Amino acid sequence: RKEVEQDPGPFNVPEGATVAFNCTYSNSASQSFFWYRQDCRKEPKLLMSVYSSGNEDGRFTAQLNRASQYISLLIRDSKLSDSATYLCVFSNDYKLSFGAGTTVTVRA
């Protein structure tokens, strides 16, 4: 079983739509959780950390379910600029494990 598994998508959604996707992890010792965004041929950029209680950052909501070992990301009111690949990332003692990414394409 892969350490981190994501639905690769792509999720093609119209502007203004809501899109959500999950990511599962196998290492129960994972300590910290993040969503990163990666644009084509660029480095990943931190979108948000994910906390046990769930957290929001503007149109983005992240949830963590430790019992089922997954995190989720929900994007409300999608913008064209949200088109990217979203990477779920887990860390254990500063070592990061990356998912292969979920591609989201927002169309006008």
Site residues for other proteins per CB under 8 A: 4, 8, 31-32, 34, 41-46, 49, 87, 91, 94-101
Q: CA-to-CA distance for 17 and 69, rounded, in angstroms?
A: 27
Of 40 and 67, the one with the shorter C-beta distance to other proteins is 40
Q: Are 60 and 48 in contact (CB under 8 A)?
A: yes
Q: CA-to-CA distance for 22 and 15, rounded, in angstroms?
A: 21
Q: What is the nearest approach in angstroms of other proteins to the Cβ of residue 32?
A: 6
Q: What is the nearest approach in angstroms of other proteins to the Cβ of residue 48?
A: 11
